[in-house]
């Protein structure tokens, strides 16, 4: 049975969080598999997705810092940073995920793993980036 995209996104978020907070280890897929009750195959796929995000972190973090008007980047809690990192990766670098889905899913993750009010902060930053991207579309 295929893993729902919401569950996969949670696995990516947890794996990214583990990487940025403590440094992911070879056991990270096992931990994610156990915690989310998903197969090791999907946990490994989540780790592969994180490996795609990592090279873009400096650009993504700069965008978060630029758009965050309430807090300096260092004051943003790690869970919120990683939700934003995942969503911004999808918005900017992954054409397969519709922008509105990325934003809605980031808000859902914020409500699940942070607080209700975190969703508003996440939405404000992502909406600002989304509007900027639409104002200045990148052509390849």
Of 55, 56, 54, 32, nearest in space to 44 by CA = 32
Reported as a single tens digit per residue, the pLDDT across 15-30 is: 999 888 887 666 778 8
pLDDT tens digits for range 45-94: 999 999 999 999 999 999 999 999 888 999 999 999 999 999 999 999 99
C-alpha dihedral sign at 108, 113, 118, 122: negative
Question: Could you tell me the domains of the chain?
Answer: 5-135 (1.10.940.10)
Residue appearing with tokens 């650009």: 59
What tokens appear for 108 in the block? 């859902």
**What is d(CA 36, CA 39) in angstroms, rounded to the nearest whole number?**
9
100/114 Cα distance (integer angstroms): 20
109-136 burial: b if 16+ Cβ within 10 Å, else e: bbeebbeeebbebbbebbeebbeeeeee
pTM of the model: 0.91
Q: Rounded to whole angstroms, how far apart are CA atoms 6 and 12?
A: 10
Residue 44 is given by DSSP the state: H
Residue 140's pLDDT is 47
């Amino acid at each position: 049975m295929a893993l729902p995209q919401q569950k996969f996104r949670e696995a990516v978020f947890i794996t990214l969080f583990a990487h940025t907070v403590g440094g992911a280890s070879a056991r990270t897929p096992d931990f994610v598999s156990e915690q989310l009750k998903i197969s090791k195959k999907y946990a490994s796929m989540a780790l592969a997705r994180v490996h795609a995000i990592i090279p873009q972190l400096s650009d993504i973090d700069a965008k978060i810092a630029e758009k965050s008007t309430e807090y300096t980047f260092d004051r943003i809690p790690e869970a919120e940073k990683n939700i934003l990192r995942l969503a911004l990766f999808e918005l900017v670098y992954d054409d397969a995920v519709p922008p509105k889905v990325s934003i809605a899913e980031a808000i859902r993750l914020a409500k699940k793993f942070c607080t209700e009010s975190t969703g508003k902060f996440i939405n404000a930053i992502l909406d600002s980036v989304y509007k900027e991207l639409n104002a200045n579309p990148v052509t390849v």
